[in-house]
Amino acid sequence: ARVVDASTTDEERRIEAALRPRRLAEFPGQQRVRDQLGLVLEAARRRQSPPDHVLLSGPPGLGKTTLAMIIAAELEQPMRITSGPAIQHAGDLAAVLSSLAEGEVLFLDEIHRMARPAEEMLYLAMEDFRVDVIVGKGPGATAIPLELPPFTVVGATTRAGLLPAPLRDRFGFTGHLDYYNTKDLQLILTRSAGLLEIESTPDGIHEIASRSRGTPRIANRLLRRVRDWAQVHGQHIVDEEAALAALELFDVDQQGLDRLDRAVLEALCKRFGGGPVGLSTLAVAVGEEPDTVETVAEPYLVREGYIVRTPRGRSASRMAWEHLGLTPPKPVAG
């Protein structure tokens, strides 16, 4: 597994759960989303009614699940968790919806991956707090409307663009999470180090923060690897030396790019002369699924200016060539 992969495993989920901030006020970064969400929740509290449904979008590992849990905690409501891939039939969703208590928060992770009939059921339920339960089969089947108590859906997606418009429109509030700056990641890491009882120096924390590709999940993971390095080398403090050595060992370079990122840039520059090249061709060249390249590697490479997306495909910027120590063959963008 890549040390800077933003997806996660079961064991890691347990550690992550311990590191999640519980309240909005403890959540560093994403200030705009935090302020907007704070207002929405406070207004709902004063009205004593559930807030609008909330959609959280953004790359993996930036805090969507954490924020969903915070929403439930701030509303002092229980939270039910399910995900798009777990809902393959409208019946799966009907079962969840019909068991919700008044005011409950329903967290739907990867909501863009829900089956189409369930999507339709969901947006009717979000709008009218009602589902039609189909009883029987064939010509004798009848739809029995079932009233639901008001509840709040918190949807999370890495691909907001894939949601059908009628579903997207049912969310009264959409928060887009963006990559964190180094300062916010330092706050997150300092807090995590405290919770994990890891001794650290500001230099060590800074080094990890600046190589975590703006992602708290990756920052927390790198912190644990640097701690491992420090322990094995008989020093019990996460300092700059430990951070530099461990990050080199795990192939995370100074800009936080890892092997996949560099493979993408190398393919783009060396095999395709800097592009433009289509996403799927690029994915084949690095031996990955197009979806992995598109949701894991590309957003960060684009944001940092290594890759430019054009209508004709992906192109390498001057930065990409320079990062690989190569000279661009012709004038390039950026």
**One of 217, 224, 262, 314 is an active-site residue; which one?**
217
Q: How far apart are the C-alpha atoms of 30 and 109, rounded to whole Å?
A: 19
Q: Is 111 in the site for ligand ADP (CB under 6 A)?
A: no
* CA gyration radius, the chain: 22
Q: How far is the CB of 41 from ligand ADP (least distance, A)?
A: 16
Shortest separation between residue 34's beta carbon and ligand ADP, angstroms: 9
Helix (H) or strand (E) holding 148: none
272 near ligand ADP (CB under 6 A):
no
Name the residue with the smallest CB distance to ligand ADP. Answer: 63
Residue with tokens 């189909």: 134
- Least CB distance to ligand ADP at residue 28 (A): 5
Q: Could you confirm whether 203 is annotated as catalytic? A: no
Smallest CA-to-CA distance from 21 within 81, 73, 82, 83 is with 73
8 is annotated as an active-site residue? no
Question: Amino acid identity, residue 292?
Answer: T
> What does DSSP assign to residue 277?
B
Handedness of CA 184, 214, 205, 67 (dihedral sign): positive
Burial of 201 (0-12, 13-18, 19+ CB in 10 A): middle
Q: Do β-strands 130-135 and 142-147 pair in parallel, antiparallel, or remain unpaired?
A: antiparallel
Applying CB under 6 A, among 40, 94, 122, 188 the residue interacting with ligand ADP is 188
- Binder of ligand ADP out of 84, 155, 175, 216 (CB under 6 A): 216
CA 231 – CA 142 distance, rounded (Å): 65
Three-state DSSP state, 238: strand
Q: Which residue has the tokens 């060396």?
A: 270
- Minimum CB–partner distance for residue 233 and ligand ADP (Å): 26
Complex with ligand ADP: residue 71 or 121, whichever CB lies closer: 71
Tell me which of 33, 37, 55, 64 binds ligand ADP, using CB under 6 A.
Answer: 64
The yes or no reply on residue 79 touching ligand ADP (CB under 6 A) is no
For ligand ADP, the closer CB: 26 or 169? 26
Identify which of residues 100 and 219 has a Cβ nearer to ligand ADP in the complex: 219
Q: Which of 63, 175, 204, 275 touches ligand ADP by CB under 6 A? A: 63
User: What is d(CA 15, CA 247) in angstroms, rounded to the nearest whole number?
Assistant: 20
Q: Is 61 near ligand ADP (CB under 6 A)?
A: yes
> In the set 4, 5, 27, 72, which binds ligand ADP (CB under 6 A)?
27
Q: Which pairing describes strands 79-83 and 105-109: parallel, antiparallel, or unpaired?
A: parallel
Identify the active-site residue in 109, 239, 258, 261: 109
Whether cis (ω within 30° of 0) applies to the bond prior to 276 is: yes
Q: Is residue 270 annotated as a catalytic residue, yes or no?
A: no
Least separation in angstroms between residue 238's CB and ligand ADP is 17
Among 157, 174, 200, 220, binds ligand ADP (CB under 6 A): 220
Nearer to ligand ADP, 35 or 128 (CB): 35
Residue 153's contacts (CB-CB under 8 Å, 6 or more residues apart) are: 53, 54, 105, 106, 108, 122, 126, 170, 171
Whether residue 66 lies in the annotated active site? no
Q: Is 292 among the residues known to form the active site?
A: no
Residue type, 132: D
**64 versus 262: smaller Cβ distance to ligand ADP:** 64
Residues acting as catalytic residues: 64-65, 109, 158, 217
Binding residues for ligand ADP (CB under 6 A): 16, 19-21, 27-29, 60-66, 156, 188, 216-217, 220
